[in-house]
Amino acid sequence: VKWLNKHLSKLWPFVSQAATAVVKESVEPLLDDYRPPGIKSLKFNKFSLGNVSPKIEGIRIQNLQPGQIIMDIDFRWGGDPSIILAVDARVASLPIQLKDLQVFTVVRVVFQLSEEIPCISAVVVALLAEPEPKIQYTLKAVGGSLTAIPGLSDMIDDTVNSIVNDMLQWPHRLVVPLGVNVDTSELELKPEGKLSVTVVKATSLKNKELIGKSDPYVTLYVRPMFKVKTKVIDDNLNPEWNETFELIVEDKETQSVIFEVYDEDNLQQDKRLGVAKLAVNNIVPETPSEITLKLMQSVDSLKIKDYRDRGSLHLKVMYHPFTKEEQLEALESEKKAIEERKRLKEAGVIGSTMDALGGAASLVGSGVGFVGTGVAGGVGLVGSGLGAGAGLVGSGIGAVGSGLGKAGKFMGRTVTGHLGMSRKSGSSSTVPQPDQPSA
């Protein structure tokens, strides 16, 4: 560790300079893909990784398999980057500076060995979910005030958080081939099963309206990129939806379903009524279960400051492990789902690829063919391969040259060019503001 840190500090000025352009080119398209509906455009105005190198605080060999070396690296970075975001929101445009960056995480690196020099044919990089990556920073408006764009800090936090959760946090990973025609199929993330979730009802929700009652709906996802939503029930604190969704699970042992209950507001941003989390490994395969979840302020216990009762969410769930054939179908379905989201975004039907898609739908077999699927704005899709069941597996990334493009070819992420990384902070990705009364 001491030897690595010594040489990392020497290499950093060169690494920082080389990586700056690559990271900017790679991450800017992701900011656009993952930006919340409240922001029209999110780009880098200035980006530099600075002069302070990261520190490695420990290395462990967690597992040793034939042909692989798996290492977990304790990583800390109190950097001095110069990052300014150009934010164009519905109400104002503002440059935002990111300051006081602190990163604490465990990086998992998997080396696939080969008999040819350099003896490593591919590398996998991911951030372990436990302990949860901590990426802390402060935001400062340049030549203005953050209050000019209500909820801006939460929106940026949500965007960063979603990118990290959806791309880098284990079981998701970046796969980097180090040779020509390298077989990385064993390293790629693959779908394990399908989780059927029926959102039955909510009870005893807390009212956020000054006049009348809240108009609740539920968003749910295993991966933020494939968020889906129920219909809105007007003026009701005990709404019943009885809508069923099919979500793809890539790692039953580590993944969870996140539920977010919101109050729809036509005059301003929707208000979050509460959130809940259901670990997939608590569900017995092929066994229907009825589950009641208590709504909380946050799924991160360290961020909960208000323990008031927020009501409950009632669900019916069943987990089905995939056969080999179903797994292959799900791989192809995921690619089609990503392409369809891109098409909807380009057509202006959805604001970003992160928008929740709504409407009751079901999967045909294990894959795509969604019927009667609606998008949040009321646009119907028939057999489009995208909809309320679109909790489909990881968005593949294939980089050409120095940039990253959502290729969706693999379940993990294969990078054939240079590599850039993003960081996280915050909570959900639907922009609505938590715990504020609305008009």
Each residue of 346-383: pLDDT tens digit?
A: 776 766 655 666 643 333 333 333 333 333 333 333 33
Phi and psi at 3, nearest 5°, equal -65, -45
How far is residue 337's CA from residue 171's CA, in Å, rounded to a whole number? 20
Is there a single domain that holds both residue 46 and residue 114?
yes
- Please say whether the dihedral angle defined by the alpha carbons of residues 10, 27, 94 and 141, taken in this order, is positive or negative: negative
Is there a single domain that holds both residue 41 and residue 130?
yes
Give the pLDDT confidence of 176-223 residue by residue, as tens digits.
Answer: 888 778 888 778 888 899 999 999 999 999 988 778 889 999 999 998
Q: What is the pTM of this model?
A: 0.62
Task: Kindly tell me if the per-residue pLDDT of 165 is higher than 70.
Answer: yes
Is there a single domain that holds both residue 17 and residue 143?
yes
Task: Kindly tell me if the per-residue pLDDT of 164 is higher than 90.
Answer: no
| Last residue of one domain, picked from the residues 288, 323, 358 | 323
Q: What CATH number is given to the structural domain containing 251?
A: 2.60.40.150
Number of compact structural domains in the chain: 2
115: in domain: yes
Is there a single domain that holds both residue 296 and residue 173?
no
pLDDT value of position 72: 92
Q: Among 38-52, 107-121, 226-240, 340-354, where is mean pLDDT lowest?
A: 340-354
Q: What is the CA radius of gyration of the chain?
A: 22
Whether residue 118 has a cis bond before it, omega within 30° of 0: yes
Is there a single domain that holds both residue 39 and residue 132?
yes
State the alpha helices, DSSP H only, in 118-222: 152-167
Amino acid at 307: Y
Mean pLDDT for the chain overall: 77
Work out whether strand 82-89 and strand 39-48 pair parallel, antiparallel, or are unpaired: antiparallel
Give the pLDDT confidence of 124-140 residue by residue, as tens digits.
Answer: 999 987 788 888 898 98
Whether residue 390 contacts residue 376, with contact meaning beta carbons closer than 8 Å, is answered with no
170: in domain: yes
350: in domain: no
pLDDT value of position 300: 73
3 state SS for 321-348: ECCHHHHHHHHHHHHHHHHHHHHHHHCC
Question: What average pLDDT score do residues 306-328 get?
Answer: 91
Label residue 84 exposed, middle or buried (CB < 10 Å: 0-12, 13-18, 19+): middle
Whether residue 317 contacts residue 193, with contact meaning beta carbons closer than 8 Å, is answered with no
Q: Which of 171, 297, 159 is nearest to 224 (CA)?
A: 159
How far is residue 378's CA from residue 385's CA, in Å, rounded to a whole number? 17
Whether residue 120 contacts residue 185, with contact meaning beta carbons closer than 8 Å, is answered with no
Question: What average pLDDT score do residues 226-252 get?
Answer: 93
Is there a single domain that holds both residue 203 and residue 87?
no
More confident call, 349 vs 234: 234
Whether residue 171 has a cis bond before it, omega within 30° of 0: yes
| Last residue of one domain, picked from the residues 272, 291, 323 | 323
Task: Kindly tell me if the per-residue pLDDT of 81 is higher than 60.
Answer: yes
Amino acid at 106: V
291: in domain: yes
Is there a single domain that holds both residue 108 and residue 216?
no
Task: Kindly tell me if the per-residue pLDDT of 163 is higher than 80.
Answer: yes
pLDDT value of position 187: 83
Task: Kindly tell me if the per-residue pLDDT of 292 is higher than 70.
Answer: yes
pLDDT value of position 280: 93
Is there a single domain that holds both residue 65 and residue 143?
yes
pLDDT value of position 418: 34
Give the pLDDT confidence of 395-422 residue by residue, as tens digits.
Answer: 333 333 333 333 332 333 434 333 333 3
Work out whether strand 120-127 and strand 93-113 pair parallel, antiparallel, or are unpaired: antiparallel
Task: Kindly tell me if the per-residue pLDDT of 116 is higher than 80.
Answer: yes
More confident call, 98 vs 33: 98
Contacts of 39 (CB under 8 A, 6+ apart): 87, 88, 89, 90, 155, 159, 431
| Last residue of one domain, picked from the residues 148, 177, 206 | 177
How far is residue 297's CA from residue 130's CA, in Å, rounded to a whole number? 21
pLDDT value of position 402: 30
147: in domain: yes
Whether residue 402 contacts residue 349, with contact meaning beta carbons closer than 8 Å, is answered with no
Is there a single domain that holds both residue 47 and residue 136?
yes
Is there a single domain that holds both residue 94 and residue 138?
yes
Starting at the earlier edge strand, list the strands of the sheet with 216-221: 380-381, 373-375, 357-358, 228-229, 216-221, 256-263, 271-279, 433-434
pLDDT value of position 358: 65
Spell out a b/e string for 252-269, using b for 16 or more CB atoms within 10 Å of the CB, else e: bebbbbbbbbbbebeeeb
Is there a single domain that holds both residue 118 and residue 252?
no
Is there a single domain that holds both residue 75 and residue 129?
yes
Q: Which domain holds residue 144?
A: 1-177
